[in-house]
Amino acid sequence: MENFSYSSYPESGESSPISREIDSENQSWDDPPSTNATANNNGNYRVKFLCSYGGKIQPRSHDNQLAYVGGDTKILAVDRNIKFSTMIAKLSSLCGGDSEVCFKYQLPGEDLDALITVTNDEDLDHMMLEYDRLHRGSAKPARLRLFFFPLSPPLV
């Protein structure tokens, strides 16, 4: 059996984790998802939500589990640092823009009876953290599901 030294394989030094510089050496697990390090530090990237509106949450007849029935679902992409008032305006414009809306989001793996209401910038920040967690834990594109409802019934 031959005895090889590391000098016999000069390219092997680059494969050692100790010999390479790692770009994400100081990156925290809590950093937002992005492939661009500058975008990570600034928090400037877009998030995508599945937005459902115009329908109702009601139990299914065959198993009594809650389901969203009717309405429309669209994908909405917004800046990660969006403010609550701007988010409300964007959601309102999706459904015609003629009424104020409130919105809730569904945590992955949770049923529709556990929706979380967003009422201010702090709640929105928490929702974005949930989006970040979902994004890190998934190989496919992360899309948190939002449901929004008019605050006042439509005039007929």
For residue 71, being part of any structural domain is answered with yes
CB 48, CB 90: distance < 8 Å: no
For residue 19, being part of any structural domain is answered with no
Q: In the predicted model, what is the mean pLDDT of residues 59-81?
A: 91
For residue 4, being part of any structural domain is answered with no
For residue 39, being part of any structural domain is answered with no
For residue 2, being part of any structural domain is answered with no
- The confidence score (pLDDT) of residue 58 equals 92
For residue 5, being part of any structural domain is answered with no
The model's pTM: 0.67
**For position 102, which CATH number holds?**
3.10.20.90
112: domain range?
A: 46-150
Q: Sheet holding 66-79: strands in order across? A: 66-79, 46-59, 144-150, 101-106, 116-118
Cα 111 to Cα 100, 106, 121, 131, distances in angstroms: 26, 8, 24, 17
- The confidence score (pLDDT) of residue 36 equals 38
Q: In the predicted model, what is the mean pLDDT of residues 106-120?
A: 91
For residue 66, being part of any structural domain is answered with yes
When divided into structural domains, the chain yields a total of 1
- Would the pLDDT of 88 be above 70? yes
- What is the end-to-end Cα distance of the chain in Å, rounded? 89
Helix, strand or coil for residue 116?
Answer: strand
For residue 28, being part of any structural domain is answered with no
- The confidence score (pLDDT) of residue 86 equals 94
Q: In the predicted model, what is the mean pLDDT of residues 30-45?
A: 48
